[in-house]
Amino acid sequence: MNTPFSYRHLYYFWVVAKEGGMARAADRLGMAVQTVSTQVRELEKSLGHELLRPVGRGVALTDAGVAAMHQAELIFQLGEKLPEVVRDALGVPSVRLAVGISEGLSKLAVRKLIQPVMDTPNLRLICHEDEFDDLLGDLALHRLDVVLADRVAPNNPNLKLYSHSLGSSRLAWYAPPALAAAARKGFPKSLATVPVLLPTAHAAVRLRIDQWFERVGVRPNVVGEFEDSALLKTFAAAGMGVFLAAELVHDDLSARYNVRRVGTCEGVEEHFFAIAARKKVLHPLVQKLIPAHH
């Protein structure tokens, strides 16, 4: 079969477009910038259209580039699944579920949210953690089957996504053993003196936490802010400070991190959502994750 272009050139273009620049793409590919640039120019020459244009220090897609990128996504998504297809053809087919996990979402909570599908025979669970907006883009391109997040997807007619509530959990304050007594004494006023760890503003619950501090009249002694919830808990367990966690994971949290419950963050809840692309037929495992009444 004769093709008017090289798939190798198309792959280099795909990486450049995803990385947003020749230099970053060259780093990812382990090649010289000039080599990558030459390969992309060869693709443009064979297709007869300019696919990329310079923007600042990076590049942006032209209209032709957008069309080429869409096809490249489809081609290389299929390519990524090739090893799985071959393996399944020679053995028992696996049931693949690709889940995007929004940064900041409690990993212990994620495990509970995914629990309804964990007994699926031959399950092959693939989890990707990334920033919320990037995950939604991958979901729209069908690279993910579902995204778990602490917020709903914004209204965007181009993405066509549905948000399904998976419930919520009250938040409570926890402390490592060395700080537990001091944190409980005069709680919640004690949070003005004991060291406090908080999620960064990227977490949907952060605004509600700040409002809670205003309601109880406490200016917290914040010594650390973390985007990753597991990292926050790791530092807290090492004695750095008291922190908030969903009561949903109380037992796992206490056992794994050896922390003590201090008190409730009254009126503050963490909400959980499963976000799926609008399809006539949902992935059967995504249907199991979403409660029947939604």
Report pLDDT digits (tens) over 47-79.
999 999 888 888 888 999 888 888 888 888 777
Name the β-bridge partners of 52. 61
Give the pLDDT of residue 92.
Answer: 65
For residue 1, pLDDT beyond 50? no
The CATH 1.10.10.10 domain(s) of the chain lie at 7-79
Half-sphere exposure of 6 (CA within 13 A, CB side): 12
| In contact, 228 and 158? CB cutoff 8 Å | no
The pLDDT tens digits for 255-267 are: 999 999 999 999 9
- Helix axis angle, 33-47 relative to 7-19, nearest 10°? 120
| In contact, 174 and 151? CB cutoff 8 Å | no
Tokens of 72: 């490249």
Instruction: State pTM to two decimals.
Output: 0.68
The pLDDT tens digits for 90-112 are: 666 678 899 999 988 888 899 99
DSSP 183-205: HHTTTTGGGGTS-EEEE-TTSTT
CA distance linking residue 80 with residue 63, whole number of Å: 26
| In contact, 191 and 221? CB cutoff 8 Å | yes
- Residue predicted with more confidence, 231 or 104: 231
Residues 6+ apart with CB under 8 A from 157: none
CA distance linking residue 253 with residue 171, whole number of Å: 13
The residue among 234, 174, 232 whose CA lies nearest residue 202 is 232
CATH 3.40.920.10 fits 92-167+273-289, yes or no: no
CATH 3.30.365.10 fits 7-79, yes or no: no
177 burial level (CB within 10 Å; 0-12, 13-18, 19+): exposed
CATH 3.65.10.10 fits 168-270, yes or no: no
The CATH 3.40.190.10 domain(s) of the chain lie at 92-167+273-289, 168-270
